[in-house]
């Protein structure tokens, strides 16, 4: 049985629920998977961007929050293009690497989002390295520059801002 183009695994106890591996195989090539998973993938010392941001938030909570918000917005925007990235990942990655224009119209938006992701991914390496080594100065200047460029890039692509207020009923009543 096939599910989303993947072979469906059957459990030994007779169940037929798909396993995680059968539903969510990594994107190819691996560099594409790394960009899409930029917040959680291991970096310097095994630290992810999110883990590094937790440590960076101790001296710089506002800056860390801004980077985290951008990562969430980017993840949500890229999630809409998972099917295209699974089907044409090699083409999109090659175009990204060469700096060329999208080959097909369906590649235009995911390619533009990935170009923004590259900047945030580089910052992730810097933040993770700082979190592990705790060099004297946190990467404040790099964070400020990347936040400015990524914010502008996401705005130009029409990626919505995160809501600033909790939804109704999310907090206690009264």
**Predicted model pTM:** 0.79
Q: How far is CA 88 from the centre of its chain?
A: 18
Beta strand 2-3 with 6-7 is antiparallel
Q: What angle do CA 91, 95, 98 make, to 5 degrees?
A: 140
Residue 46's Cβ-count burial label (10 Å; 0-12, 13-18, 19+) is exposed
SS3 (DSSP) at 62: helix
Distance (Å, whole) CA 128 – CA 124: 6
Contacts of 144 (CB under 8 A, 6+ apart): 63
pLDDT in tens, the chain (174 residues): 334 444 444 444 455 554 444 456 788 898 999 999 999 999 999 999 999 999 999 999 999 999 999 999 999 999 999 999 999 989 999 988 888 888 788 889 999 999 999 999 999 999 999 999 877 789 999 999 999 999 999 999 999 998 777 666 666 554
Query: What value, to the nearest 5°, has the Cα angle with vertex 132 and ends 127 and 138?
Result: 45
Looking at the DSSP bridge assignments, the partners of residue 7 are 2
């Amino acid at each position: 049985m096939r599910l989303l183009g993947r072979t469906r695994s059957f459990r030994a106890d007779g169940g037929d629920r798909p396993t995680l591996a059968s539903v969510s195989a990594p994107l190819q090539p691996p560099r594409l998977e790394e960009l899409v998973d930029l917040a959680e993938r291991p970096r310097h010392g095994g630290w992810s961007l999110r883990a590094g941001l937790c440590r960076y938030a101790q001296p710089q909570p506002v800056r860390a929050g801004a980077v985290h918000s951008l990562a969430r917005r980017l993840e949500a925007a890229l999630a809409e293009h998972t099917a295209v990235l699974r089907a044409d990942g090699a083409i999109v990655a090659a175009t990204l690497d060469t700096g060329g224009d999208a080959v097909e119209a369906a590649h235009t938006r995911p390619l533009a989002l990935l170009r923004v992701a590259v900047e945030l991914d580089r910052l992730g390496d810097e933040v993770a390295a700082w979190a592990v080594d705790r060099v004297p100065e946190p990467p404040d200047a790099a964070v400020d520059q990347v936040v400015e460029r990524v914010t502008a890039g996401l705005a130009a692509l029409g990626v919505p801002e995160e809501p600033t207020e909790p939804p109704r009923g999310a907090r206690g009543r009264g």
